[in-house]
């Protein structure tokens, strides 16, 4: 019998890790905003530390943010909205001294899989961005995605990743909005501080206690 997935309470630390070709590649702590059967909302606050495992084979190289010297999240925090089983998140960005809403970022990634310390996924590089003042979305990182395919980062996944992007684009073109636009004005709890990664975060097994469940279309 499958174990019941642990759910987080608002304010709990949830470690988000990227798993590349079976290895922990990157991780950072987030704060749970909401965790229901229909939505997992995670917030990465300013100053949240980035973690890069010291050991591994890393056939596609070290994480690009490690190579670039990024060690923590800078600027305004980011809110990430996930529906169960979907191969993308909707990320909410803010900008400027008044924390104005900047736009919606459709981040293609592996469906989340829960672990004893948080969630595992893998960013798929290809994304869509709809700025707050824009009439339409734009595709992001198309060339980088093509490069990653050549590098072998997503073996056998190219069509599925592109298909998910095309599906999102078609929904947006049809006027579909599957998220609550009220998230644009969401404010983090002022008592929240930047969490740190727990000791041994990279050693936690990658197989969580619940599998990614396909979402209803």
Q: What pLDDT is attached to residue 5?
A: 66
| pLDDT confidence bin for 212, thresholds 50/70/90 | very low
Nearest to 48 by CA among 69, 29, 68, 70: 29
pLDDT tens for 37-49 read 999 999 999 999 9
Q: Of 34, 40, 28, whose CA–CA distance to 11 is shortest?
A: 34
DSSP run (H or E) holding 98: none
Instruction: Check whether 2 has a pLDDT greater than 60.
Output: no
Provide the annotated active-site residues.
140
Residue 33 has pLDDT above 90, yes or no: yes
pLDDT digits (tens, 9 = 90+) for 145-182: 999 999 999 999 999 999 999 999 999 999 999 999 99
Task: Give the model's confidence band at 207: pLDDT under 50 very low, under 70 low, under 90 confident, else very high.
Answer: low
Determine contact, residues 15/198, Cβ cutoff 8 Å: yes
Tell whether the model's pLDDT for residue 189 goes beyond 60. yes
| Predicted pLDDT at 6 | 80
Which two tokens mark 178? 């599957």
Distance from C-alpha of 142 to C-alpha of 140, rounded to nearest angstrom = 6
Domains in the chain, ordered, with CATH?
A: 13-184 (2.40.380.10)
Q: How far is it, in rounded angstroms, from Cα 117 to Cα 201?
A: 8
Mean pLDDT of the chain: 92
Residue 53 has pLDDT above 90, yes or no: yes
Convert the pLDDT of each residue in 99-120 to its tens digit. Answer: 999 999 999 999 999 999 999 9
């Amino acid at each position: 019998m499958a174990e019941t997935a642990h759910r987080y309470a608002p304010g709990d630390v949830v470690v988000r890790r990227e798993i590349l070709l079976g290895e922990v590649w990157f991780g950072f702590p987030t704060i749970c905003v909401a965790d229901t059967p229909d939505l997992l909302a995670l917030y990465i606050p300013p100053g949240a530390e980035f973690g890069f495992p010291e050991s591994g084979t890393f056939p596609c190289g070290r994480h690009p943010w490690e190579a670039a010297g990024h060690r923590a999240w800078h600027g305004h925090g980011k809110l990430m909205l996930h529906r169960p089983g979907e191969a993308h998140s909707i990320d909410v960005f803010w900008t400027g001294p008044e924390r104005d809403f900047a736009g919606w970022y459709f981040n293609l990634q592996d469906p989340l899989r829960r672990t004893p310390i948080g969630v595992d996924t893998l960013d798929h590089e290809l994304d869509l961005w709809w700025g707050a003042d824009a009439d339409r979305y734009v595709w992001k990182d198309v060339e980088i995605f093509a490069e990653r395919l050549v590098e072998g980062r997503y073996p056998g996944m190219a069509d599925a990743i592109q298909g998910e992007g095309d599906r999102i684009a078609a929904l947006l073109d049809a006027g579909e909005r599957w998220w609550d636009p009220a998230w644009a004005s969401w404010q983090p709890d002022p008592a929240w501080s930047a969490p740190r990664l727990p000791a041994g975060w990279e050693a936690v097994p990658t197989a969580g206690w619940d599998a990614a469940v396909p979402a209803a279309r």
